[in-house]
């Protein structure tokens, strides 16, 4: 029987009904502008600061260190450009070659402006080489930007060790934690990290809202001019309904959800590797996001397999969602050493706390059927 199973939660998540319920009054009854001095405005100001405190508390930051943005892409841009534009005496950035395009394309634009960028290599599981990182730092290095959890293959970098290297060399450290936020422990009192990017729609919150953690004392230049909103760093009237939804989504995240996803992820990976021949797991087995399984099916075109699954009500991603309309192989899969054929045979399955074992079993049943069907007619099979 056809059913609907959503396993593309790395792209976006369903908004939790409790989040929707919490947001609704801020479109109608409590619609004030947080910069207004009258009652409606101050009502909005209060909930804005309460939401800031909720997000800050989740990473043990100070509320004043949270800047609300439109999402992860803006947060990444603000972090990277904000740091390097603030001190042009230092014109060198270090990142990795498997970052999200919000980081990579920002760095490529900065290269056009004369900035120097070092792109660190990764091993076959997606981990950077810490020795290469340290050797790449110079007296001109302004910032290191390494994501915590990779959006495609789920690799979790050791940001605590990266932070120690950055602190030792007096270099600022930014991490894109859009995929790992609430899924991987993060304590800014313990880990040396200066800037962190977040997004609400990856954790069952609304689209179009996120945040940037900026450690107290770190100076960044605004990307555009306006009013004094968000400490003057991100001008523009705050998206109160979205921010309230973001904070509610954060408050609903529990450690038990992580364990639930991890258990189902392992069951899914083990079952696929057992039931289907010639399948490769991309990324590490252990240090990976609790909800991520990225698999290459040899002699199968990933787009075709994804289309068959879609017809059966199963939503997955053939690479990162932001580039899934492009036909070229994923830059992440190429960076970990896959050839184009293997990379094009990949699918990313990402779970949520709402995923059930019955969902997984339905996906497995269809995978076995459609992989077998496609291999019979595949010109890739010798």
Structural domains of the chain sorted by starting position, each given as residue range(s) with its CATH number in brackets: 5-13+254-377 (3.90.1150.10), 17-252 (3.40.640.10)
Q: Is residue 336 packed enough to be buried (19+ CB in 10 Å), middle (13-18) or exposed (0-12)? A: buried
Q: Which residue has the tokens 């039931």?
A: 275
pLDDT value of residue 327: 64
Question: Which residues are CB-neighbours of 291 under 8 A, at least 6 positions away?
Answer: 9, 10, 154, 183, 261, 265, 350, 351, 352, 355
Q: Are 283 and 126 in contact (CB under 8 A)?
A: yes
pLDDT value of residue 111: 98
pLDDT value of residue 381: 63
Residue ranges in the chain modelled with pLDDT below 70: 1, 319-327, 380-382
pLDDT value of residue 379: 73
Q: 149: which DSSP letter? A: B
Q: Has 315 been annotated as catalytic?
A: no
Q: Which two tokens stand for residue 146?
A: 């390494």
pLDDT value of residue 320: 47
Going by their DSSP bridges, the two strands 172-176 and 195-199 should be labelled as: parallel
> Per-residue pLDDT tens for 228-264?
999 999 999 999 999 999 999 999 999 999 999 999 9
What distance in Å separates the CA atoms of residue 349 and residue 148, rounded to the nearest whole number? 19
Q: Are 156 and 184 in contact (CB under 8 A)?
A: yes
Q: Are 186 and 59 in contact (CB under 8 A)?
A: yes
> Per-residue pLDDT tens for 304-330?
999 999 999 999 998 644 554 556 789
> Per-residue pLDDT tens for 29-38?
999 999 999 9
Tell me the backbone φ, ψ of residue 316, rounded to 5 degrees.
Answer: -135, 180
Of 107, 166, 315, 322, which residue is the catalytic one? 322
pLDDT value of residue 378: 75
For 31, 97, 118, the CA distances from 108, given in Å and listed in that order, are 40, 12, 11
Helices (H) and strands (E) in the chain, counts: 12, 12
Q: Which two tokens stand for residue 14?
A: 């369903």
């Amino acid at each position: 029987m056809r059913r609907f199973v959503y396993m593309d939660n790395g792209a976006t998540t369903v908004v939790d009904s409790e989040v929707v319920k919490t947001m609704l009054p801020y479109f109608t009854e409590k619609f004030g502008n947080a910069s207004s001095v009258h009652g409606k405005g101050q009502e909005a100001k209060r909930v804005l600061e309460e939401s800031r405190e909720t997000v800050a508390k989740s990473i043990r930051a100070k509320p004043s260190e949270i800047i609300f943005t439109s999402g992860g892409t803006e947060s990444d841009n603000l972090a990277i450009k904000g740091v390097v534009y603030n001190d042009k005496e230092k014109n060198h950035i270090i990142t990795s070659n498997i970052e999200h395009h919000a980081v990579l394309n920002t760095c490529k634009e900065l290269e056009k402006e004369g900035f120097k960028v070092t792109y660190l290599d990764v091993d076959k599981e997606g981990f950077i080489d810490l020795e290469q990182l340290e050797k790449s730092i110079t007296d001109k290095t302004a910032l290191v930007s390494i994501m915590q959890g990779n959006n495609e293959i789920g690799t979790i970098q050791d940001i605590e060790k990266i932070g120690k290297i950055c602190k030792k060399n007096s270099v600022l450290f930014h991490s894109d934690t859009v995929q790992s936020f609430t899924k991987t422990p993060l304590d800014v009192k313990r880990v040396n990290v200066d800037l962190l990017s977040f997004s609400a729609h990856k954790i069952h919150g609304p689209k179009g809202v996120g945040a940037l953690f900026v450690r107290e004392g770190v100076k960044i230049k605004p990307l555009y001019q306006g009013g004094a909103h968000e400490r003057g760093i991100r001008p523009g009237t705050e998206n109160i309904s979205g921010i309230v939804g973001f904070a509610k989504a954060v408050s609903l995240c529990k450690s038990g959800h992580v364990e639930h996803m991890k258990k189902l992820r392992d069951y899914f990976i083990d079952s696929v590797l057992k039931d289907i021949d010639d399948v490769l797991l991309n990324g590490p087995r252990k240090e990976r996001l609790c909800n991520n399984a990225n698999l290459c099916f040899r002699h199968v075109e990933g787009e075709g397999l994804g289309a068959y699954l879609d017809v059966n009500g199963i939503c997955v991603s053939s690479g990162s969602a932001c580039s899934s309309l492009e036909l070229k192989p994923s830059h992440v899969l190429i960076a970990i050493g896959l050839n184009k054929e293997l990379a094009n045979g990949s699918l990313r399955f990402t779970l949520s706390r709402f995923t059930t074992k019955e969902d997984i079993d339905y996906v497995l049943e269809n995978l076995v059927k459609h992989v077998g069907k496609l291999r019979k007619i595949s010109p890739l099979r010798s």
